[in-house]
Amino acid sequence: MPDYINKKDLLRKLSEDCPQICDDKVDVYGLGAYSQYQGDINTIVNMPTIDAMEVVRCKDCKYKNLFYGDLVCENMKIGGIYYVDADFFCKEGEKDERN
């Protein structure tokens, strides 16, 4: 599975780290970034983005429960018990803070 990063966070981190490694100040995109990194910053800014969001897997969800040793979802109690896979997720998932 690929790793995803937040483009704005990466640019902010790069602009914070620049003062430690170069002298030549030229503000790029209003981020306080330096000319030595202008090509890298342009590459990052122009990279395509992915419409992705964090999900809560069933194994980490507050609605999970064990039923005779099997993982079930108690958030979807509409006429029965729903067995779920530990790596499954849904739009209703909420992080179980007890973990």
Is the pTM value of this prediction over 0.75? no
- Residue whose token pair is 């809560």: 56
Q: List pLDDT tens digits, range 58-80.
A: 999 998 999 999 999 888 655 56
| pLDDT top residue among 17 and 54 | 54
Q: What is the 3-state secondary structure (H, E, C) of the chain?
A: CCCCCCHHHHHHHHHHHHHHHCCCECCCCCCCCEHHHHHHHHHHHHCCCCCCCCCCEHHHECCEEEECCEEEECCCCCCCCEECCCCCECCCCCECCCC
Distance CA 68, CA 70 (A): 6
